[in-house]
Structure 1
Amino acid sequence: MNAPTFPETGFLRAKQVLQFIPVSKATLWRWVQRGQFPAPTKLAERTTAWSAESVREWMKERTQEGKAA
């Protein structure tokens, strides 16, 4: 089984985000509500997704914070 590759651009649904951010779906949405994770974009009535760029930037910031500690 190959590990998923994080896309450079485009949109990611929650299931895809959770392949790279190892938390529960409930935690992901809690972070969004608290402003601790980028807000998703509503693409259609029942379709919500995150831009790959915003998630990548969030991950980069977390990595930098870890190095500063």
Structure 2
Amino acid sequence: MSEEEQGSGITTGCGLPSIEQMLAANPGKTPISLLQEYGTRIGKTPVYDLLKAEGQAHQPNFTFRVTVGDTSCTVLFLP
């Protein structure tokens, strides 16, 4: 997860499977739950920092910096 990432098109950039591949292999799990499980496996809790919240109240967009150990990336979350 070393490159900038957005929405569900997250790629890891370091030889790990894409989020689409991980979700397909783990039906019913969200990207956040997969990240939490990954952090647990490697002994590093993910840290989420809200960088920006924008958009209309009924359709907000959030940009987060997610850090797991020494790796961090920017993620756009569209609820």
TM-score by length of 1: 0.33
Higher relative contact order (CA 8 A, sep 6+): 1
Which has the larger helix fraction?
1
TM-score calculated relative to the size of structure 2: 0.31
